[in-house]
Amino acid sequence: MRTGTLIMVIGVCMFISGLVMFYSVEIGQKDQMLRVVKNTGTFVGLSGMGVTLAGILLHLINRNGPQVEENFDI
């Protein structure tokens, strides 16, 4: 598997796990541990978006472009 594709998959997994952590805790919880899980979910989800974007950019940079053929028929 190419590097860009692997990083995209890792980023999507991070984003999904961040969503699960964020939405598994109800709003307004008083328990400190649940608030830490919710805040960690926010951080992991946002980081996952950045990692996914980095993977997309790596994929676009590393793909092979068309070969330029110059024909100078004079």
Confidence bin at 74 (pLDDT 50/70/90): low
pTM for this structure?
Answer: 0.77
**What's the mean per-residue pLDDT of the chain?**
88
Q: What is the largest CA-CA distance in the chain?
A: 81
Q: In a 3-state reduction of DSSP, which class is residue 16?
A: helix
Does residue 28 carry a pLDDT above 80? no
